Structure 1
Amino acid sequence: MSEQIEISDEPLTIETVLDQIPAWKGRVTRFSPVGGGISNSNWRVWITGEPKSFFVKIPGRGTEMFINRAVALEASLKAEAAGIGPRVHQLQAPQGVEIIEFVEGYRTASNRDFLRPSVRGAVVEAYQKLHACTPLSQTKTVFDMIEEHLEQIAKVSAAMPDATAGLITAYRQARQALEASGLDFVPCFNDPMPGNFLLDPNDHLVLIDYEYSSNNDRCYDLGAWSTEMFFDEAIEAALIEAYFGKFDQRMMNRMTVYKALADIKWTLWSMLQNKISLLEFDFSKYGLWKLLRARSIIERADWQVTLSKL
């Protein structure tokens, strides 16, 4: 019998968190929720005597199963130093709570924004800077993420669609092909949902939310971003050229395979979240969408050819 996972039913409230930050004792002016997140509870907080407000992230129920908060902090600090992430405030706070400077004058991006070459170019530049950082303390490939979720899903008895079995077979094939070709580990973002990209009116970019970051194959970051934004092949070819300095069909193939693996990873994550999360979000529907998108790649006639040319 597999070991059961214990998950707290009493997540931290914003009031409890603020009461446990000594530097802010008696100085909280107001706070308001920040929407858009599907892992945690996010808040904007105003403090007396501080010129700028703060963004406070409270870990969602069960997220310790797949998020290493120490590595997330490490990645956030590297991103700040590289000029692509917001200022990090390392205040004494309850375990896992993240505090950064609220980024004023910027808005969250939408998929439509990434149709503009200027925005795509800004992301490529940000990824190049992140990937050039010194390694993180944790190496966690998409293979590790998928295996982790499969184990967790079994332990909490989360439901999975019947079609998932076919995805796992395809994943194991892809893993074998990628590992045989060699992996190029760099610090990766790993979580390119549109809301994690902030834009100002001039398309200057700030990259936020590094909680899924790890050392991973650099092409995973490119593939996960591409599938999240529904890029077509012409845009993908341009991204390969912009990132690597020239077009390379092998890198294009790796991006394609990682697109499918990213959607498999997030399919499994969604099924796990559907079982454990207290957030008001339709994780089941989200996961099925990811599942169908993964199938649209692995069921293509050229899938096996792509795997043979990595």
Structure 2
Amino acid sequence: MSFSLSDAALDALLEQLPLLAGQPRQVEDLAGGLTNRNVKITTAAGVYVARCADPANLLGIDRDQEHYNTRAAAAAGVGAPVYDYRPDLGILLLGYLDGATLSNADFARPGVIAKAAQACRALHAGPRFRGDFDMFAQQPAYLKVLQDNGFRIPDGYMDFADQFDAIRRVLAATEVPTVPCNNDLLAANFVEDGDKVWLIDYEYSGNNDPCFELGNIWRECRLSIAGLEELVSTYYGRPLRHKIARARLQGTVSQYGWTLWGCIQNGSSSLEFDFWEWVMERYDNAVAEFSRPDFGRLLDEVSADD
């Protein structure tokens, strides 16, 4: 559970939703979720998921935007249907997707990377989202929260500010149109239902460079470089050297930025979770890429003519 919400308090909140009021229901917690309590609700009329949000967070999550974009993802055919939204209660009520939540290991199965790429293409081709997501803007915002609150960050973090800025400059010089992106596609945000993969959790959604989506999947789902190349090539329909380089650099951008997200959680969350280990995994990923001898080559390949 990501924040303090007793079962009795949850039941009182659910009773205020017309679809659930007065209905016998079975409620069970769903695994995952570091900023929400997510519960599966089974009634005679249907099965739902309530995303119960912590009203107090330092992460800048816009719940109205999350609701709007979740509806857009449903319209694109890859998101769960939205049944109710009560910002006064902190609840987003969704349809339950009856599939298997993926793990990192699942991405080694034949066909899973291709299905993930297809789901991303469908989302990115769908209705435009409300708001933008740009880790080059989000990272300094997270850093300010940390500095204002005196929270811990990894030793040497700012030593890589120049490399981060170098990526920013080369991506800006080869700017691509933004598309509606989830921006947080760790394995647990993919739900596999036969030949289809659904995408869930739109807290950090916004219009963005599609290569941020792909690069973030590479890092969060712990794909190999070959897996990244398959993901990007399937998404674009053929191998493109400049897109693979762009996605790899954006994956590094994601890790450098999410490091600070974890630092905020480490300093403020009451959840019994080792956020510092989470922080250091992403920081180490970023440092390894910043320090690679071919880092300069990747910067050059973003503008390559395939």
Same fold (TM > 0.5): yes
CA distance change for structure 1 residues 159 and 243 in 2, over 3 Å: closer, same or farther? same
User: Size of the alignment, in residue pairs?
Assistant: 298
Q: Is 1:293 matched up with 2:289?
A: no
Residue in 2 that maps onto 1:196: 189
Question: Quick one: distance in 2 between partners of 1:264 and 1:275?
Answer: 17
Question: Quick one: distance in 2 between partners of 1:301 and 1:62?
Answer: 43
CA distance change for structure 1 residues 214 and 91 in 2, over 3 Å: closer, same or farther? closer
Q: Is 1:37 matched up with 2:33?
A: yes
Q: CA offsets per residue over residues 103-139 of structure 1, 9 Å max, x none?
A: 22x1210111111231111111111111112322201
Unpaired stretches in structure 2, ≥5 consecutive residues: none
Structure 1 contact 86–100 (Cα < 8 Å) conserved: yes
Question: Quick one: distance in 2 between partners of 1:27 and 1:54?
Answer: 13
User: What letter is aligned with 1:102?
Assistant: Y
Structure 1 contact 124–242 (Cα < 8 Å) conserved: yes
CA distance change for structure 1 residues 241 and 98 in 2, over 3 Å: closer, same or farther? same
Q: Alpha-carbon deviation of 1:53? A: 1.7
Q: Alpha-carbon deviation of 1:91? A: 4.8
Q: Alpha-carbon deviation of 1:182? A: 1.4
Identity of aligned pairs, percent?
Answer: 27
Q: Alpha-carbon deviation of 1:96? A: 3.6
| From 97, 100, 103, the counterpart of 1:103 | 97
Q: Tell me the TM-score normalized by structure 1.
A: 0.89
Report the secondary structure of 1:161's partner residue: coil
Structure 1 contact 60–277 (Cα < 8 Å) conserved: no
| From 164, 177, 202, the counterpart of 2:170 | 177
CA distance change for structure 1 residues 96 and 143 in 2, over 3 Å: closer, same or farther? farther
Residue in 2 that maps onto 1:94: 88
Question: Quick one: distance in 1 between partners of 2:142 and 2:58?
Answer: 12
Q: Alpha-carbon deviation of 1:278? A: 2.0
| From 101, 104, 119, the counterpart of 1:126 | 119
CA distance change for structure 1 residues 204 and 245 in 2, over 3 Å: closer, same or farther? closer
Q: Is 1:85 matched up with 2:61?
A: no
Q: Alpha-carbon deviation of 1:17? A: 2.1
| From 106, 109, 129, the counterpart of 1:113 | 106
Q: Alpha-carbon deviation of 1:187? A: 0.6
Residue in 1 that maps onto 2:239: 247
Structure 2 contact 132–207 (Cα < 8 Å) conserved: yes
Q: Is 1:154 matched up with 2:147?
A: yes
Residue in 2 that maps onto 1:212: 204
Q: Alpha-carbon deviation of 1:93? A: 6.0
Structure 2 contact 192–198 (Cα < 8 Å) conserved: yes
Residue in 1 that maps onto 2:294: 302
Q: Alpha-carbon deviation of 1:196? A: 0.6
Report the secondary structure of 1:308's partner residue: helix
Structure 1 contact 21–94 (Cα < 8 Å) conserved: no
Structure 1 contact 58–98 (Cα < 8 Å) conserved: yes
> Which deviates the most, 227-236 or 214-223?
227-236
Q: CA offsets per residue over residues 4-42 of structure 1, 9 Å max, x none?
A: xxxxx9768423422432443322423121111122111
Report the secondary structure of 2:73's partner residue: helix
CA distance change for structure 1 residues 56 and 22 in 2, over 3 Å: closer, same or farther? same
Q: Tell me the TM-score normalized by structure 2.
A: 0.90
Question: Quick one: distance in 2 between partners of 1:44 and 1:108?
Answer: 14
- What is the Cα-based RMSD across aligned positions, in Å? 2.0
Q: CA offsets per residue over residues 213-256 of structure 1, 9 Å max, x none?
A: 10011100010001122222322222222111221111111111
Q: Alpha-carbon deviation of 1:62? A: 3.6
Q: CA offsets per residue over residues 154-185 of structure 1, 9 Å max, x none?
A: 22221111121123332122112211221331
CA distance change for structure 1 residues 232 and 23 in 2, over 3 Å: closer, same or farther? closer
Q: Is 1:24 matched up with 2:20?
A: yes
CA distance change for structure 1 residues 29 and 251 in 2, over 3 Å: closer, same or farther? same
Residue in 2 that maps onto 1:3: none
CA distance change for structure 1 residues 240 and 61 in 2, over 3 Å: closer, same or farther? same
Q: Alpha-carbon deviation of 1:88? A: 1.1
Question: Quick one: distance in 2 between partners of 1:298 and 1:190?
Answer: 21
CA distance change for structure 1 residues 162 and 34 in 2, over 3 Å: closer, same or farther? same
Report the secondary structure of 1:85's partner residue: coil
Structure 2 contact 67–85 (Cα < 8 Å) conserved: no
Residue in 2 that maps onto 1:68: 62
Unpaired stretches in structure 1, ≥5 consecutive residues: 1-8
CA distance change for structure 1 residues 82 and 162 in 2, over 3 Å: closer, same or farther? same
Structure 1 contact 224–262 (Cα < 8 Å) conserved: yes
User: What letter is aligned with 1:83?
Assistant: G
